[in-house]
A and B are shown apart, each in its own frame.
Chain A
Amino acid sequence: MPITKINIGPVHPSTHGVLRLAVYLDGDTIERVEPHIGFLHRGVEKLAETRMYMQNHPYMEKLDYIAPMAYDEAYVSTVEKALGIEVKERAMYIRVILLELQRIASHLFFVGTIGNDLGQMFTLFMWTYMDRDKVLDLLQEATGSRMFYVNMRLGGLVSDLPPDFEKRTLETLEYIDNRVKEYEAFIEKNPVFHERMKNIGILTPEKAMDLGVTGPVLRASGVQYDVRKNSPYYIYDKLHFEMKILTRGDNFSRYKMRLLEMRESIRLIREAFKMMPEGDALGMPVKLRMPPTKNKEVWISREAPKGELMMYMVADDQKPYRLAIRSPNFVNLSAIVHMSKGLRLADLFATLGTLDLVMGCVDK
């Protein structure tokens, strides 16, 4: 049978942004998929070289607009490491709490959109978005903004947590915990969901490690790697949480991984609140002039909701001389080429959806 070429995107309801896929089909079976990226490229790394340290915060947040705080935090940590600034004890706890809340919000978004990708299971999207709004309300309370927070400052945060924040957070977490059970019942009692997800889009652990895939996608393939466990930062070594592993590496385990991680995040936040010390959490006020640093190279690694995020910076006097970002989404996208071989065309979007891509982070 002759090979048919189908062009999908750059604007398509299921590509999660502006991604173009050239699909080569033999009948209904996929021979090859070529992702074409760059439709959102705006040159973040180059722009960062022209801005001073404190002016770069909003740019870093707009890389991944589903979990912005993880990116802002990674950037601030890079600058802190370059300038040799210690983070305050209480600020560490607050950062971890906010980051885990952000992870829950990001994974809720994933659970909603996977229903869409499987063909208009729109109820799920409505449910998860409603619950995501509840988490965003908490973040808005703590930072003052709904989507782009810019609440990290060198050595701490822009403000301490508001009074009664702990009580309201724990209430919301209780609610989310129950809701996750409801999602599980809603999704996993549906035989169509099992048919569409199980044993489809398999990524073997060897292939995943060869490609450099990270985050929930890697852990769903059975590789034990989580930056929070393997090279802990902040207070992650003091907190008790499990690194969840699933072994099948198909679409279903990638979806299940997110639900398991949400539960672990809820555990983490509850424990962090118990251990949180009193004290000062405020960071340095926004000053454009910093202590001078010359030709200092630093790199940092963080577990963002989508995978391992790394930032490498060569510090100049008052601004980055070079800032390189290792985007987890970019690397995870490369896995679709290998996972989609031999799939049916309809399963391509389910497989792409389980990678949980954000194109703003892929294109930088």
Chain B
Amino acid sequence: MEGEYTEEEFQIAKKEMDQLVQDSLKGREIKPNVMFAKMSDISRAISVSKGLVKWARVNSLWPMQFGLACCAIELMGFGSARIDAERKGYLLFRGTPRQADVMLVAGWVTKSMVPEVKRLYEQMTEPRYVIAFGECATCGGPWFESYNIIRGIDQVLPVDVYVAGCPPKPENLFEAMIKLQEKISGKIED
């Protein structure tokens, strides 16, 4: 995760991984066109080539199907035919937090919902990212004076990207996902 990632680094990492796989294959009687290696070797190779992992992480962000309120309707628009988020690798929404990388908090978070949101976040596997989608999740939005609302999800969870708007358009979420990709790949600072 740390450090700058460039094209050269990626090529070097890829070569290293190929070399490691080749080394692990030495002395075994297998056909050359069959890819076969011990799991420990592969994990060693992956830990060496951090760039490759980063590249994979950046390009397969899976959001969780978690809609709270109004913004969830625009969230569905994000996955629907006009925007078609799937073409960029943000796959179909996952029904379970255990398969998801990104949590999109779309809507106001009430006090009774806070423990549930926290629990969902804890069930996600690391590394996990949070996008505060819309004004309610960013700062409380129009309900800032309500007695039952927390003013922004960042009081509970660490937020990576904020999206403004009430509700933001699906296009804005697209931009937020691109920003998140840039952040993971180290192109922009925190």
Contacts and interface: CB of A to CB of B under 8 A. Distances in A.
Contacts, number: 84
Nearest to A68: B70
Interface string A37-61: 0111111001100100000001100
A147 B110 contact: no
A46 B169 CA distance: 29
B145 A47 contact: yes
B80 A13 contact: no
Interface in A127-151: 127, 129-130, 133, 146-148
Interface string A3-44: 000000011010001100000000000000000001111110
Contact of B70 (A38, A125, A130, A360): A360
Nearest to A133: B82
A62 B134 CA distance: 13
Interface stretch (B21-29, B71-79, B153-161, B179-187): B71-79
Contacts of A127: 81
Contacts of A85: none
A129 B145 contact: no
A360 B155 CA distance: 22
A148 B166 contact: yes
Interface in A277-331: none
A153 B112 CA distance: 35
B142 A66 contact: no
A209 interface: no
A109 to B, nearest CB: 8
Contacts of A39: 110, 112-113, 116
B120 A11 contact: yes
A11 B77 CA distance: 19
Interface in B76-104: 76-77, 80-82, 92, 95
B70 A126 contact: no
B108 interface: yes
B81 A129 contact: yes
Given A65-B69, A130-B80, A133-B81, 11 more contacts: A17-B67, A38-B110, A40-B113, A41-B148, A43-B146, A62-B69, A62-B142, A129-B81, A130-B82, A133-B82, A360-B69
Interface of A: 10-11, 13, 17-18, 38-43, 46-47, 50, 58-59, 62, 65-66, 109, 122, 125-127, 129-130, 133, 146-148, 359-360
Interface of B: 65-70, 72-74, 76-77, 80-82, 92, 95, 107-108, 110, 112-113, 116, 120, 142-143, 145-149, 166-167, 169
22 contacts: A10-B113, A38-B110, A39-B113, A39-B116, A40-B69, A40-B107, A40-B110, A42-B108, A42-B146, A43-B148, A47-B145, A58-B166, A59-B142, A65-B73, A122-B92, A129-B76, A129-B80, A130-B81, A133-B81, A146-B169, A148-B167, A360-B69
